[in-house]
Structures are given as C-alpha cells and as structure tokens.
Amino acid sequence: MQINRWKMLFHGLLLCFFLGAGHAVAQTKVQPVKVAGGLEHPWSMVFLPDGEMLISERSGQLRRIVNGELQHAPVRGLPKIAAQGQGGLMGLALHPQFAQNRLLYLSYTAESQDGGYNTHVARGQYKDGTLSNVQNIFSATPGVRGGRHFGGRLLFDKAGYLYITLGDRGERELAQQPQNHTGSLVRLHDDGRVPADNPFVNQAGYAPEIFSYGHRNAQGIALNPFNGQIWTHEHGPRGGDEVNVIKQGANYGWPVISYGEEYFGGSVGEGLTQKAGMEQPLHYWVPSIAPSGMTFYNGDKYPGWKGSLFVGSLKFGLLVRLSFASDQVNEERMLDGQIGRVRDVQQGPDGYLYLLTDQDEGGLYRLEKR
C-alpha cells in the first residue's frame, strides 16, 4: 500500500515536470466581498441581461438577486426535484439568445422511469420570478439508487450546442460502458435533439448523446474563449482530480486509469495512470482539492489574469488560478478557507469574479483587489 502511494507521487511529480503543474506563482492580493448571504447550499449562478442574478440551491430552490438584494420568494414553476444526497437543483445556463427567447436551462435530480435517480435537464421561459412552459429535454440513464456523483454542470458552446456533465453515480464500472450516460459528457441541440455529427451516432453499443466518456464526476465545465475548446474538471477519489481538454469521442479513462487512490488506501483497480486509447489530464491534483465550478477569465479587473483558468475548491475553501505559458501550468491558490467551501466561480458582466460557498448558510461573494 505504501509502495502504491510512492508510485502515485512519482507519477504526479513526473507529469508536473512535463506540464509545469507544480509551478507556483506569486500570491495576488485580493479580498472577497460578500454580496448576499442566507443561501442554502448554493450550487450555480447565471447573470441575466437586465442585471438580475439567479442562483440554484441544492435543496431545490431557485433564488433571485435583484438590485444586489436576495429576494425572499424563490422562483415559481420549477419541475419536481429530488434533493437526493449530493443531488438536487444543480447547474444553470442561459440560452445564447436568452434576451430574445427567455430560455433558462437547469439540471436537477429526479426519479427515473426505470427506477432510482439520475440527472435530468429541463428548460423553461423565465420572467419576473416565474418559469413557464417547462419541458424536460434530457434524462440520463440508467436510474441508480444512492446519492453520489450526479455531475450537473451545463454549458453552451459558440455553435449553440448544449453540454451536460454526468457523474458515474458511484457505479464506477458504468463509466466504461458507453451504451449508458453514466460518467459521460453529453452534447445536444438546444431542444434536446441529438446532433447528427455526435461521435457515436448510429454506432452500436454507444448512446448517441455521448460526446466523451470515462469521467468520474465532472463538476466544472468552461468554454475557452480564446480557441473555443471545451474544458472540464472532475473529482478524483483520494487525489487525482483532473482538468481535461475535451476531445470528441475520447475516453478519459475512469476507473481504468487514475492518479488517485482508494479512500481506504491502495491503488484504484490495477494502479494504472496511463493506458493506450485513454486521455491524459492536462493538470491534476494530489492530494485532492475537491474541485467545483470553473471559468476562464477574460476581463480587465485583475491585471495579469486574462486567459487564466479559475477553479473552486470544496475541500480547502480555495480559489485556484491556473495560468499557461511555455507548456507550463502554473498554479496560484487564494482565499485559503476565508469564506468556506467554494462551489462555483463565474465571471460577471462587470468583469469581476463571483463565488458561491456550499454551506447551510452559503453566500455570494465578489472578488476585489486589495
């Protein structure tokens, strides 16, 4: 068991050498300013064109912030949500033409037709605190009992396709069985139809919605604004959290390869970190930081940060900045538990970074320079 730990550390140092993942950068002086409190385990946020914000609470409420104030009444008209373990109301996304069609997308946990629970995605028209004309556009299969690893992040790319991250639901072997959605990244049209150029359309043994698979539990997804790439991060078991650049049709290896180890100690499976036909992460963490939420920064409020990738940490209450230069990944850690478990990080229309903290009395924070 001790040999496995040293083997994992050696591989981590080796990859850090080639990618620069171990390079730290100087601490930037910033401070979190509380915008709103009283949120129950907030999970995701979106910024509306009129200045309103919507924030999902894992318990199943969708909250409004209007003129900087948290409204007492939650949004009406949501679908039936099962707050099951790590699941509940999760990711939010606005349609690329939201200003015209008012379409809001949300991911949530609900009972599946085949029993158990899984991640579902619905959309409806949002206006003045009400969601109307709600329709479910996707339900992950199969349904699984238990409350772990629902994924749940949503993202639209530049072409208007919708991406949905799905966890392995604690049934890790399903992540290498792509006839189901478990442990995959799904790509759909905005109305739930399967794009004709998805990698596994009409291919036997594969669900046509799948864009990539072999993921453990991706709770971060971001569009690289500089080249249009889709990036995700996912939780490892005990160590081995990964940042991945997504390739169409690729297998990201879980649980066959991992830089983590079992929670009770020892290697995952055969202890492999690489295998032919499986993708390597761009960056990984040992020990685990429990990443959640992710965004590229493309503003001008923080000198030197443009082009950096920001990742929240649940385990250590960190905000992690990854910057990229000369084939190196440099890492800067901020906040260090100052505000609690960072569940989401997004860039606001004002150019500031906003953070959500996953707690009974969670909050919304704006990151400002000191």
The catalytic residue among 11, 41, 120, 149 is 149
> Which residues are within 8 A (CB) of 139 and not within 5 positions of it... i.e. 6 or more apart?
110, 112, 113, 118, 119, 120, 121
**Pairwise CA distance, residues 284 & 290, whole Å:** 11
Q: Is 283 a catalytic site residue?
A: no
Strand order from edge to edge, sheet including 319-325: 23-24, 328-334, 319-325, 309-313, 291-296
Q: Decide: 278 and 229 in contact? Cβ < 8 Å.
A: no
User: Is the CB of residue 148 less than 8 Å from the CB of residue 164?
Assistant: no
Give the tokens for residue 204.
Answer: 């036997």
| Beta carbons of 46 and 104 less than 8 angstroms apart | yes
The tally of CA atoms less than 13 A away on the side-chain side of residue 338 is 15
**Active site (catalytic) residues:** 149
